[in-house]
């Protein structure tokens, strides 16, 4: 089994292969993630248990470090760059302890080192510091509806115990529906003011001094309405940009700051 040309975890060709004391080989990232998720150092094939974390080493002839500049692939939209790479390669994991996002290469120490192996790795997030509870250092993955704030699992068991708590994803979905309704109301308000502007621009069927006064008054009203339209359109643009945010936690945090809309 140890001679298979593919990793039995990812079912693909080996990437940075490493061998366990039992003789079986895996991709470094695959076995590192397997141990991290299962919370124990065990071979996925023969099930042998290692009381202490084995020292994992990769074949340096096959892996010589970070990709060269020539090998760098431009980041796609919404991809997060590695915080360590000078060339900013694509990050694959974020560490909630280090508060750093890593590419495949710079993530390796978290799989090789026993102490770093205890760190909590999560899917890559753009606003890493805002994703961690400042009190408990854990991921903000819950929302307290009682206090209208994002919390972690520890908060839910302590300071917010007994409160109305749901997942961040579920609350974000509710807020996105509310955001859509707010934008509809803003767009209706814009149309109402545009109609008033057209009305005030029509000729006033009054003669003499009264016509001049009516014209001046209408001009002031039109100016005020145009300022209101400009402000409403600005707010609508901000909310449109917010609605396109795919990071539910960040979306929720931003929405709470714009809830006055």
Confirm whether 163 is domain-assigned: no
CA dist 121 and 57 (Å) reads: 20
Confirm whether 67 is domain-assigned: no
Confirm whether 4 is domain-assigned: yes
Residue 224 belongs to what domain range? 168-257
Give the CATH number for residue 117.
4.10.830.40
Give yes or no: residues 174 and 247 share one domain.
yes
> How many domains does the chain divide into?
3
Confirm whether 114 is domain-assigned: yes
Confirm whether 152 is domain-assigned: no
Confirm whether 136 is domain-assigned: no
150: CB partners within 8 A, 6+ apart: 140, 142, 143, 144, 168, 249, 252, 253
Quote the tokens at residue 102.
């890593």
Confirm whether 139 is domain-assigned: no
Q: Mark which of 109, 124, 139 sits at the end of a domain.
A: 124
Give yes or no: residues 117 and 49 share one domain.
no
CA dist 182 and 135 (Å) reads: 33
Give the model's pLDDT for residue 76.
Answer: 74
Q: Mark which of 89, 105, 124 sits at the end of a domain.
A: 124
Confirm whether 208 is domain-assigned: yes
Q: Name which of 200, 206, 236, 231 is nearest 218 in CA terms.
A: 200
Give the CATH number for residue 25.
3.30.40.10
Contact 235, 261 (CB under 8 A): yes
pLDDT by residue for the chain (261 residues), tens digit each?
445 578 889 888 888 888 999 989 999 888 988 887 887 889 999 999 998 888 887 765 444 444 444 345 667 766 888 988 887 788 888 887 788 889 888 888 888 887 887 787 877 877 777 888 888 878 889 999 999 999 999 999 999 999 999 999 999 999 999 999 999 999 999 999 999 999 888 876 665 556 677 778 888 899 999 999 999 999 999 999 888 887 888 889 889 887 544
pTM: 0.57
Give yes or no: residues 38 and 92 share one domain.
no
């Amino acid at each position: 089994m140890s001679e298979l040309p593919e990793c039995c975890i990812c079912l693909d060709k080996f990437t940075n292969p490493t061998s366990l004391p039992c003789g079986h080989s895996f991709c470094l990232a695959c076995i590192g993630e397997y141990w991290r998720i299962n919370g124990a150092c065990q071979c996925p094939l023969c099930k042998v248990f290692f009381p202490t974390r084995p020292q994992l080493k990769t074949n340096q002839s096959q892996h010589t470090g970070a990709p060269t500049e020539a090998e760098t692939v431009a980041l796609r939209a919404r991809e997060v760059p590695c915080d360590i790479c000078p060339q900013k390669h694509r990050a694959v994991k974020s560490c909630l302890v280090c508060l750093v996002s890593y590419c495949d290469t710079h993530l390796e120490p978290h799989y090789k080192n026993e102490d770093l192996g205890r760190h909590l790795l999560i899917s890559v997030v753009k606003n890493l510091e805002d994703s961690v509870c400042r009190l408990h250092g854990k991921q903000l993955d819950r929302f307290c509806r009682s206090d209208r704030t994002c919390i972690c699992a520890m908060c839910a068991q302590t300071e917010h115990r007994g409160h109305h708590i749901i997942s961040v994803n579920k609350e974000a979905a509710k807020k996105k529906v509310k955001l859509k309704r707010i934008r509809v109301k803003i767009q209706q308000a814009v149309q109402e003011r545009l109609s008033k502007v057209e009305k005030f621009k029509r000729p006033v069927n009054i003669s003499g001094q009264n016509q001049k006064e009516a014209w001046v008054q209408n001009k002031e009203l039109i100016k005020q309405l145009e300022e209101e339209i400009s402000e409403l359109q600005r707010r609508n643009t901000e909310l449109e940009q917010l609605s396109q945010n795919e990071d539910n936690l960040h979306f929720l945090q931003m929405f709470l700051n714009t809830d006055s809309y």
